[in-house]
C-alpha cells in the first residue's frame, strides 16, 4: 500500500530535484541556447528517474553527492530525449507548457537538446564511486533510447506490427532508461554484478509497465492531468499497447473502426476510441499487461533485504496506479 509518508517523501525528493535544476549555474550568453535550456530546467516533470536513482542508491548507502549528480544527469538525459522526440513527433505540449520547438523553433530546440545532453555528461563524470561503470551504463542507455525512438518512427502507420515488436520498442525507448536508473543506484552503492543486474531487470519491468500505463492514459486521461497533448500518438499512427492489442484481437474490425474514427475531429475521435477499447476488452487486456510487468518488477526487488525495500515496493505500486 502506498502510504502518505511515502508520498510526502517523494514530493520532498521532487522538490529538491527541481530546486537543483532551477539553481543550476548556467551562463546567460548566448541566449539562443541558454534561454531554452533554462526553460527546460524550469519544467515540472515527474522526476521519476532521479527518484529511482535516489531510492535504490539509498538502500545501499551510496554517497549523497554521487546520487545528486547522477540523478540530475539522468533527468537531463531524459529531457534531452523529450526535446528531440517532440520535434520528431511535432508535439506542441510537454509538462503543461509549450514544447521548445513551438516556443522558439526547431533549430533552437535541437541545439538546446544537445546542450542539455552535454550538461548531463558533465554531471555523470562527477560521480566518485565506480565512475567508469556509471559512464559506460549512461552511454549504453542513451544509445538504447535512440534505438527505441528509431523503432517508434519505423513503426509509424505500419499495421503489421505485432506485440513482440511493440514490447521491444518500449523496452528500449522507455524501459532501458528506467532500468539504468535502478542499475545506477546499485553501481553507486558498490554492489556486485549479480545485484546490479537484478536491479536493472527491476527497472526494465517497471519501465515497460510505465509505458503501457502511459499509452492507456493518453486516451483515458485528460490534457490537464497528463500535461501533454492527448491522442497525438494515435493520430500520428504510432504503435501503442491499445492499437496493437486491438489489431491482435480483430484486425479487420480494428481497421474498419480506425478508418471510421479518423474522419472525426480529435475530441470526438478520442471518445470513440474509448468506447471501442472498453467494449472489446482492449483496455482490460492492457491493464492486465501493466499489472503483469508490475508484479515482475516487485519480484525483482527480492534481491533487496526485506527491511530495506518498502519504499521501492511503494514506488512500483505508485507507478502502476498513477493517473497522470
What is the per-residue pLDDT for 24?
Answer: 92
With helix as H, strand as E and coil as C, how does the chain read? Answer: CCCHHHHHHHHHHHHHHHHHHHCCCCCCCCHHHHHHHHHHHCCCCCCHHHHHHHHHHHHCCCCHHHHHHHHHHHHHHHHHHHHHHHHHHCCCEECCEECHHHHCCHHHHHHHHHHHHHHHHHHHCCCCCCHHHHHHHHHHHHHHHHHHHHHHHHCCCCCCCCHHHHHHHHHHHHHHHHHHHHHHHHHHCCCCHHHHHHHHHHHHHHHHHHHHHHHHHHHHCCHHHHCCCCCHHHHCCCCCHHHHHHHHHCHHHHHHHHHHHCCCCHHHHHHHHHHHHHHCCHHHHHHHHHHHHHHHHHHHHHHCCHHHCHHHHHHHHHHHHCCC
What is the per-residue pLDDT for 94?
Answer: 87
What is the per-residue pLDDT for 237?
Answer: 84
What is the per-residue pLDDT for 215?
Answer: 94
Domain locations along the chain: 4-321
Question: Model confidence over 143-153: pLDDT tens digits?
Answer: 999 999 999 99
**With a cut of 50, which residues of the chain have pLDDT below it?**
none
Full-model pTM: 0.94
What is the per-residue pLDDT for 133?
Answer: 98
In the CATH hierarchy, which fold is given to the domain comprising 4-321? Farnesyl Diphosphate Synthase (1.10.600)
Amino acid at each position: 500500500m502506498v502510504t502518505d509518508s511515502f508520498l510526502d517523501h517523494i514530493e520532498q525528493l521532487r522538490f529538491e530535484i527541481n530546486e537543483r535544476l532551477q539553481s543550476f549555474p548556467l551562463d546567460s550568453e548566448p541566449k539562443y541556447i541558454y534561454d531554452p535550456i533554462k526553460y527546460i530546467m524550469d519544467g515540472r516533470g515527474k522526476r521519476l528517474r532521479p527518484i529511482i536513482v535516489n531510492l535504490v542508491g539509498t538502500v545501499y548507502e551510496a554517497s549523497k553527492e554521487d546520487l545528486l549528480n547522477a540523478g540530475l544527469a539522468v533527468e537531463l538525459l531524459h529531457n534531452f530525449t523529450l526535446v528531440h522526440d517532440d520535434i520528431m513527433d511535432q508535439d506542441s505540449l510537454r509538462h503543461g507548457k509549450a514544447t521548445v520547438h513551438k516556443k522558439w523553433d526547431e533549430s533552437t530546440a535541437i541545439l538546446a537538446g544537445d546542450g542539455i545532453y552535454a550538461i548531463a555528461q558533465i554531471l555523470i563524470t562527477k560521480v566518485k564511486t565506480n565512475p567508469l561503470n556509471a559512464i559506460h551504463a549512461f552511454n549504453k542507455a542513451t544509445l538504447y533510447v535512440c534505438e527505441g525512438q528509431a523503432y517508434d518512427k519505423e513503426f509509424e502507420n505500419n499495421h503489421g506490427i505485432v506485440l513482440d515488436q511493440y514490447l521491444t520498442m518500449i523496452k528500449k525507448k522507455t524501459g532501458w532508461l528506467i532500468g539504468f536508473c535502478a542499475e545506477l543506484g546499485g553501481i553507486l552503492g558498490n554492489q556486485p554484478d549479480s545485484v546490479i543486474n537484478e536491479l536493472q531487470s527491476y527497472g526494465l519491468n517497471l519501465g515497460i509497465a510505465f509505458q503501457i500505463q502511459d499509452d492507456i492514459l493518453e486516451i483515458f486521461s485528460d490534457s490537464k492531468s497528463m500535461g501533454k497533448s492527448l491522442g497525438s500518438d494515435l493520430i500520428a499512427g504510432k504503435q501503442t499497447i491499445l492499437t496493437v492489442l486491438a489489431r491482435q484481437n480483430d484486425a479487420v474490425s480494428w481497421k474498419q473502426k480506425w478508418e471510421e474514427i479518423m474522419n472525426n475531429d480529435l475530441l470526438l475521435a478520442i471518445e470513440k476510441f474509448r468506447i471501442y477499447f472498453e467494449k472489446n476488452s482492449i483496455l482490460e487486456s492492457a491493464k492486465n499487461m501493466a499489472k503483469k510487468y508490475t508484479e515482475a518488477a516487485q519480484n525483482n526487488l527480492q534481491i533487496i533485504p526485506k527491511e530495506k525495500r518498502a519504499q521501492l515496493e511503494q514506488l512500483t505500486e505508485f507507478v502502476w496506479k498513477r493517473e497522470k
